[in-house]
C-alpha cells in the first residue's frame, strides 16, 4: 500500500473515531498545480535541458547519467478538523522526462499516482522515496530497454543481472542500492532488476552492507541475488545464483534505470 494512502487512511480513521465528528475542507481546488498542463505541453515539444530547468527547476533525481530527469511534489488534497486537532491529506504527483542524444525532450510523462507506470513503461516503484530519498528510489526503464536487456547476448564482456529478494511483506520492503567496483550503480526493489555489462575478471559488488567478488567471463550471463532474512540471526547475503533461478527471477521483473 502506498505511504500516502496509509497516512490519509490513518487520518480518516482518527477523524471517524472522534465523538463529535470532524470537518473535511477541500484544499486541492484552490491549490496551484505543481506541474501545469500548459507548461508540460510546451516542454514536450522538443524543449532542451535549459528550458526544462527554467520551467520546473532542478530535477529531484536523474538516471542513466543525465538521460532521465524526475520531478515530484506533494499536493494537499483536503484538511481535516476535529476536536482540538487537524491534519492535511496529501497525494504525490510526479513527472518523468527523457532526453535524446541531442539533449532535447523525447518523452514527457506526468502522473497523479505516486506508484504509477507511464505510457512508455517507466514506473515509480518507490512512492514518496522519489521526493524524500531520490538515490534510493527504484524507477524502471522504458519497455524497449527492458526488452533489450533481457535479450542481450554478451560477446567480449559478461552480462550481469542483479535482483533483490526482501524479507517479510514485499510491498513494505522498499528498495536497495547496488554498488559495482566501488561505485553506486542503481536502486532496485522486489519488482525490478538491474542490468550491466562488465569486462572479464573479478567484479566487486555490494548491497545490504554485504559484498562479494564475483568472477565474470566473456560471453556469459551472470545472475546475482541479494537477499535479507528475519530468521535468527538476522542478516543478509549476496551471491551468484544458477542460470535457471536467475532467468526465472528476471523474467518476471522490470529493468530499473541505473544512476
Domain architecture of the chain: domains with CATH: 3-130 (no CATH), 144-255 (2.60.40)
Nearest to 110 by CA among 57, 39, 175, 49: 39
> 36: helix, coil or strand?
coil
The total of other beta-carbon atoms located within 10 Å of residue 97's CB is 25
pLDDT over 50 at 73, yes or no: yes
Q: What is the mean pLDDT of residues 212-227?
A: 96
* Per-residue model confidence as pLDDT tens digits over 79-106: 777 666 778 787 889 999 999 999 999 9
pTM here is 0.85
pLDDT over 80 at 147, yes or no: yes
d(CA 142, CA 82): 45
Helix (H) or strand (E) holding 243: helix 243-251
Phi-psi region of 34 (alpha: psi -120 to 50; beta: other; left: phi over 0): alpha
C-alpha cell at 79: 484538511
Amino acid at each position: 500500500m502506498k505511504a500516502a494512502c496509509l497516512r490519509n487512511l490513518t487520518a480518516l480513521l482518527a477523524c471517524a473515531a472522534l465523538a463529535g465528528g470532524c470537518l473535511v475542507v477541500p484544499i486541492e481546488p484552490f491549490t496551484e498545480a505543481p506541474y501545469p498542463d500548459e507548461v508540460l505541453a510546451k516542454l514536450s515539444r522538443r524543449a532542451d535541458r535549459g528550458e526544462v530547468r527554467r520551467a520546473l527547476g532542478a530535477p529531484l533525481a536523474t538516471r542513466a547519467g543525465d538521460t532521465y530527469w524526475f520531478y515530484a511534489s506533494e499536493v494537499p488534497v483536503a484538511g481535516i478538523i476535529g476536536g482540538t486537532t487537524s491534519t492535511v491529506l496529501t497525494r504525490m504527483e510526479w513527472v518523468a522526462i527523457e532526453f535524446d542524444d541531442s539533449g532535447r525532450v523525447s518523452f514527457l510523462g506526468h502522473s497523479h499516482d505516486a506508484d504509477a507506470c507511464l505510457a512508455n513503461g517507466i514506473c515509480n516503484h518507490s512512492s514518496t522515496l522519489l521526493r524524500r530519498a531520490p538515490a534510493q528510489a527504484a524507477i524502471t526503464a522504458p519497455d524497449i530497454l527492458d526488452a533489450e536487456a533481457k535479450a542481450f547476448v554478451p560477446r567480449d564482456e559478461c552480462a550481469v543481472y542483479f535482483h533483490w529478494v526482501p524479507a517479510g511483506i514485499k510491498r513494505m520492503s522498499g528498495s536497495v542500492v547496488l554498488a559495482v567496483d566501488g561505485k553506486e550503480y542503481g536502486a532496485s526493489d522486489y519488482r525490478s532488476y538491474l542490468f550491466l555489462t562488465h569486462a572479464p575478471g573479478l567484479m566487486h559488488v555490494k548491497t545490504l552492507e554485504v559484498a562479494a567478488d564475483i568472477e565474470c567471463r566473456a560471453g556469459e550471463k551472470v545472475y546475482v541475488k541479494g537477499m535479507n532474512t528475519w530468521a535468527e540471526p538476522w542478516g543478509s547475503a549476496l551471491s551468484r545464483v544458477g542460470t535457471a533461478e536467475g532467468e526465472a527471477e528476471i523474467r518476471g521483473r522490470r529493468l530499473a534505470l541505473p544512476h
